[in-house]
Structure 1
Amino acid sequence: MVVPAGGSLGTWNWKRIVSNMFPLLVVLSIIVLWAGITLEGAEEMLEEFAVLAVMVPTMVDMGGNLGAILSSRLSTRFHLGTTELDPRDRELWADVAAILALAATIFTALAIGAAAIDVIVFGGVIGFGTLLLISLVSGMSVAVIAIVFSFAATYGSYRLGIDPDDTTIPIVTNVVDVFGMVIFIGVSALVLGF
C-alpha cells in the first residue's frame, strides 16, 4: 500500500486536501468549458429537435453519477485493503457489470421518457426507435468512459499516495460530463444526419 509522506490515506488534513484539490479543480473547470462550447455548437440541432435538449441534463448527469458510484466502491475497497485492481478479481468485474446494467436501465428509461415528451409536447418529431438508439449508444459509451476513468482516477490517486476520496469524484464527474456532452451531440448528429 502506498502511503503519503505525511501519514496514512485515512488521515484528514485540510491543507493537504486543498493543495491536492485546488489545482485539480482549476484544470477540471477549464476542461468542462469544452462541454459548454460543444453544446453551443449544437444549438441549431437542439432547436430543430428540442427533445434532445430535454435529454441533455440527464445524459450528462447520469454518466458522472455512474462513475461516482464505481469510484466510491473502488475507494472503499482500497481503504479496506480488499483490492489491488487485479483483472482476475471477480468482484471488480461484478462492479463493472452492475454499472453497465444500471446504465442500460437508466438510458432506456431516458429514451422512454423523452419519447413521451416528444409526442406530448413536440408532436412526435423523433420516433421512439431513434431516441432509444441515441440514448443507448450515447449512454453506454459514456458508461464505458466512466468505468475507465473511475479505475484510472482511483488507482492513480492511490499510487500517488493521495486519498482517492478527495480526487476521484471531481475527476470522474467532470471528465465524464465533458465526454458525455461530446458523445451525445456527436451520436445525435450522426443518427439524425445533421
Structure 2
Amino acid sequence: MVVPQGSLGTWDWKSIVGTMFPLLIVLSVIVLWAGITLESAEEMIEEIAILAVMVPTMVDMGGNLGAILSSRLSSRFHLGTTELDPTDRVLWANVAAILALAATIFTALAVGAAIIDAVVFGGVVGLADLLIISLVSGMSVAVIAIVFSFAATYGSYRMGIDPDDTTIPIVTNVVDVFGMVIFIGVSATVLGF
C-alpha cells in the first residue's frame, strides 16, 4: 500500500488545527439543521413526550456506531491491512457487526422507551409503534453511519490527512443531522402527524 504524502502519521499541532478548524466550522453549520428539525417537531414531541426521551439515545448511538467503524477502518489503514477492496471479508464483517449492534441497541431502546412510556406517561405509544420507529430510524442511521465512515476515512486517507483527526467529527455530526431528520420523519409517519 502506498501512503500519500502529507500529514498522515505526524503529530504537528499546527497541521491538525489547520485541518480541523475549517472542518469544525462547516460541521457546526451543518449540525444546526438538526436543531432546526427538532424545533420544527416541537408540537409532536410535546404531545408524545416519550419521543423526547428517545432523541438523545437515537442520535448518540448512531454517532457511536459510526465512530466505532471509523476507528476500525482508520486503524486498518495505519496498519496497511486494507485498501477498501469490496471482496475484503474483514470489511464486510465490520459492517455486519455494526448492523447487528445497531439492531440490538435500537430494539433495546424501543423496549426501554415502552416501559418508560407505560410507567411515566400512561402508555401513550405502544411497543409495536416504538419498535417500528426505533428500528427503522436506527437501522437507517446505522447505514448512513457506515457510508460516511467509509467515505470520511477513505477521503481523509487519500487527501493525506490522518483519518484519526477527521473521521469521528465528520461522522458524528452528519449522523446527528440525518439521525434527527430520519427520527422525526419516521415518528411523524408512524404516529400520524
Which category of TM-score, normalised to the shorter sequence, fits these structures?
A: over 0.9
Q: Give me the whole-angstrom Cα distance separating, in 1, the residues matched to 2:123 and 2:5.
A: 57
Q: Deviations over 1:126-178 (max 9, x none)?
A: 00000000000000000000000000000000000000000000000000010
Structure 1 segment 134-173 matched on structure 2, within 5 A: 134-173=133-172
Instruction: Look up the match of 2:85.
Output: 86
C-alpha RMSD of matched pairs (Å): 0.7
1:55 — aligned with what? 54
Q: Distance in 1 between matches of 2:186 and 2:33?
A: 17
Give me the whole-angstrom Cα distance separating, in 2, the residues matched to 1:97 and 1:63: 15
Asked whether 1:130 is paired with 2:129, we answer yes
- Contact (CA 8 Å) 1:63, 1:139: kept in 2 or not? yes
Question: How many Å separate the matches in 1 of 2:168 and 2:5?
Answer: 20
Q: Does 1:15 align with 2:14?
A: yes
Aligned equivalents of 1:24 and 1:71: distance in 2?
17
Letter in 2 for 1:25: L
Residue identity (%): 84
In the aligned structure 2, how far is the partner of 1:46 from the partner of 1:2?
49
CA contact (8 A) 1:34 1:178 kept: yes
Q: Which residue of 1 aligns with 2:4?
A: 3
> Which consecutive unaligned segments of at least 5 residues does structure 2 have?
none
- Match of 1:42? 41
Contact 1:4 1:162 in 2 (8 A): no
Instruction: Say which SS state the counterpart of residue 82 (structure 1) adopts.
Output: coil
Distance (whole Å) between structure 2 residues aligned to residue 15 and residue 177 of structure 1:
28
Separation in structure 2 between the aligned mates of residue 120 and residue 151 of structure 1, nearest angstrom: 41
| Counterpart position of 1:188 | 187
Q: What is the CA distance between 1:3 and its match in structure 2? A: 2.5
Q: Would you identify which runs of 4 or more consecutive aligned residues in structure 1 move more than 4 Å?
A: none
Q: Report the TM-score, using the length of structure 1 for normalisation.
A: 0.98
User: Following the alignment from structure 1 to structure 2, what is the Cα–Cα distance between the partners of residues 115 and 3?
Assistant: 50
Partners of 2:10 and 2:108 lie apart in 1 by: 41
CA deviation digits over 1:20-64, x for unaligned, max 9?
A: 000000000000000000000000000110000000000000000
After TM superposition, give the deviation of residue 11 of structure 1 in Å.
1.4
Q: Secondary structure at the match of 2:155?
A: helix
TM-score normalised per structure 2: 0.98
